[in-house]
Amino acid sequence: MNERRRGATEKPVADPARITELIASIAAINDTPADQGITRIGFTPSEKRAHKQFSDWLCDIGLTVRSDEVGNTIAEKVGLQSLPAIGTGSHLDSVPGGGRFDGIAGVVAAVHVAELLVRHEIPHRHPLRFVAFVCEEGARFGQACVGSKAAGGHWSYEALQGIRDSNGISIADAIQRSGGCPSDVVRAIWQKSDWAAFLELHVEQGGQLEESGVDIGLVDLISGSTRFELVLEGVASHTGSTPMHLRADALTAAAQVILLAEGIANDGRHRGTRVTVGKVDVHPGSITTIPGRVSLWVDVRDIDSGRQRLIADEIVRQARAVCDARRVALTPRLLSDASPVVLPAWLRDVTTTAADQRGRSYRVMYSGASHDSQMVAAVAPAAMIFVPSRGGLSHVPEEWTSANEIARGVEVLLDSIMALDKLGESGDCSV
């Protein structure tokens, strides 16, 4: 152990004060009063400003920075040899009223890794890329990981045109308005031959690391998600003059649907499935009018892709029975459907060794949340490094991870990148 600790002191040390400064700079770009958390929605001027800040930091230390067709920002530090790149990064958008760390911790970690490499003049064979993805949160379009889906080759222009936010703006319009070129979305696809690996540091967004006093989580599996909108159409009418037995109240039907969805997830056969109705729109939204139309946004998460789809179908089937009984029409609309992704064990072994050699405790765990790495995994071997979330809270203003905890993650990330860079040096590996 002493041997190992002596070894560790020779490695670059992450600077918690610098990490605090970087996090605070991004947190200052906020569309919400600070006491109500952080609001930096995908494809808004605020998200763009955060990308500009990221770009400035990396330009300032001599990296070449570019934006791709959907607005992802990619900075490159040239390697000594012509080899596929090793990348790291995450996202800079937030949910409405969210926290300072979700996504940001990973982007800040990428910036700090680049700073440490430059400051310590560490040579590397592979080109290193530092990435900020656009619009990872599903808050605006009901569609997570918009930017990384482009990198992973999961989009067509038609699909980008077909998905709209609550103001009727399509993803394609939103990309266009923020300066991108959605019709060229296929040009944003990462070529497999161009990438050796991608690593993402992220806050855990759960309480397992804190609870067990463990420094680092290493992700083996990222849950899938099926998201759909249920539109319930009843009959809007006067609340005073319409007798109870003649109503077709879309909201009471919706209430029953929300509870049945929860009941399906709680069924003992579906342990591990998570179902949430996180958004409800009620029309016309008047205290004196029976709700005529309700939209429910349903999110089904699972680490078992078969069960994930089965449960989504079951919710729709049972919702239909409820609506039929209440004379309410039901229209389901699929918003997104992503399968769970198993991350490669060989790459996790690299991160495990890095954590071990820094003397950090770690555990292997799955991620219940979606992440950019899930999309990138289609084109590059991907790994995720989790750091603890205080109280397990995320997507709320109270979200918190200390700079020291992030610094530990940064060191594991840096060492993993450098270990990957050395793999195959003697020609015995394809990386």
CA–CA distance, 53 with 49 (Å, rounded to integer):
6
Applying the rule CB under 5 A, the residues between 101 and 120 that interact with Zn ion are 102-103
Cα dihedral value 220, 402, 93, 47, nearest 10: -140
Place of tokens 């420094």: 215
Tell me how far, at minimum, the Cβ of 103 lies from Zn ion, in Å: 4
71 versus 103: smaller Cβ distance to Zn ion: 103
Q: Does 147 bind Zn ion (CB under 5 A)?
A: no
Q: Which stretch binds Zn ion (CB under 5 A): 100-108, 110-118, 183-191, 316-324?
A: 100-108
Tell me how far, at minimum, the Cβ of 138 lies from Zn ion, in Å: 10
Tell me how far, at minimum, the Cβ of 384 lies from Zn ion, in Å: 10
102 versus 299: smaller Cβ distance to Zn ion: 102
Tell me how far, at minimum, the Cβ of 147 lies from Zn ion, in Å: 12
The 10 Å Cβ neighbour count of residue 274 is 16
Q: Please name which of 407, 426, 312 lies closest in space to residue 20, comparing C-alpha atoms.
A: 407
Tell me how far, at minimum, the Cβ of 91 lies from Zn ion, in Å: 6
107 versus 296: smaller Cβ distance to Zn ion: 107
For Zn ion, how many residues bind (rule: CB under 5 A)?
2
Give one word for 62, left, alpha or beta, with left for phi > 0 and alpha for psi -120 to 50.
Answer: left
Element (H, E) at 331: strand 329-338
Tell me how far, at minimum, the Cβ of 398 lies from Zn ion, in Å: 16
50 versus 315: smaller Cβ distance to Zn ion: 50
Tell me how far, at minimum, the Cβ of 71 lies from Zn ion, in Å: 17
198 versus 251: smaller Cβ distance to Zn ion: 198
Q: Count H helices, E strands: the chain? A: 13, 13
DSSP one-letter string for 81-134: S---EEEEEEE----TTB-SSTTHHHHHHHHHHHHHHHHTT---SS-EEEEEES
DSSP 202: E
Q: Which stretch binds Zn ion (CB under 5 A): 33-41, 78-86, 97-105, 233-241?
A: 97-105
Q: Which stretch binds Zn ion (CB under 5 A): 5-13, 96-104, 177-185, 217-225?
A: 96-104
Q: Report the residue closest to Zn ion, judged by CB.
A: 103
Q: Chain-centre distance of CA 332, in angstroms?
A: 25
CB neighbour list of residue 227: distance below 8 Å, 6 or more residues apart: 138, 142, 143, 297, 298, 299, 300, 334, 335, 336, 337
Q: Which stretch binds Zn ion (CB under 5 A): 38-46, 94-102, 168-176, 420-428?
A: 94-102
Q: Give residues in contact with Zn ion (CB under 5 A).
A: 102-103
